[in-house]
Amino acid sequence: MTTLDLQVSSGGDDGHWWVALNSSGNEVDLGYFNSAPMYAYFRFTGVTIPKGSTISAATLQLYAINWGSVPANAKVRIFAWAIDDAPVCDATHLPQDMTTTSAYEDWTPTWNYLEFNSLTDISSVIEEIVNRTGWSSGNAINIFVFPNSATDYIVSDSYDHVPANAAKLHITYTPASGGAKAAPKIPLLGVGLVALEKWLRDRKNLLKRLTT
């Protein structure tokens, strides 16, 4: 198995929509606040996983910097943008309007302040992306975190605020098997030389008989 560790590496690659799109702020909000849902996204570039790989583990990790009243009430559902090479979210690509993967995972937050928190395993979500017909190693994946019966919110750090605290994605995978390659054919030089020597001896013996 192979391990790949990724981190959001640009200010435009994380953010959320709450009333309006926020892709350059000091935080990324998840859940539900003031009677409105929050739709968060985290885009990871350079995902060097070969097409068709089996994903055995995948975890999104967020750095906690704030929360509402009860973090456990900020229940969310985690998808990915169902696209071969995910672009950034912008005014024409709002996360809540994009097609999501069929695979998803629900998560009830346990939110430890000022440290990275691992969300639930999303290996099925990542595997759906890398099994797409148009997937190529090195493409980008955009993870969506949407409210799921949420009545509260949590707040993670953003790349624009502290780059080292930007979201991380940890993936363990096994590349798809391409089948065993046939061993190259090597000329049987030794066998050929033995046959040649036998032929020469036979010719020599035949000539000897003919001349006696």
What are the tens digits of pLDDT across the range 62-121?
999 999 999 999 999 999 999 999 999 999 999 999 999 999 999 999 999 999 999 999
Whole-prediction pTM = 0.83
Helix (H, G, I), strand (E, B) or coil at 49: coil
Structure tokens, 201 = 């001896």
pLDDT at 185 over 50: no
Domains defined along the chain, listed by start: 2-174 (2.60.120)
Residue 180 has pLDDT above 50, yes or no: no
Distance of alpha carbon 187 from alpha carbon 105, whole angstroms? 56
Residue 194 has pLDDT above 90, yes or no: no
Buried b (16+ CB within 10 A) or exposed e, 31-57: bbbeeebbbbbbbbbebebbbebebee
Say which residue, 176 or 192, is predicted with more confidence. 176
Residue 40, strand partner residues: 16, 145
Q: How confident is the model at residue 127 (pLDDT cuts 50, 70, 90)?
A: very high
* Average pLDDT of the segment spanning 137-162: 97
pLDDT of residue 186: 45
Is residue 182 over pLDDT 80?
Answer: no
**152 contacts: CB under 8 Å, gap ≥ 6:** 31, 32, 33, 67, 68, 69, 70, 71, 72, 73, 74
CA neighbours closer than 13 Å in the CB half-sphere of residue 210: 6
Pair of tokens at residue 188: 């049987």
pLDDT at 199: 59
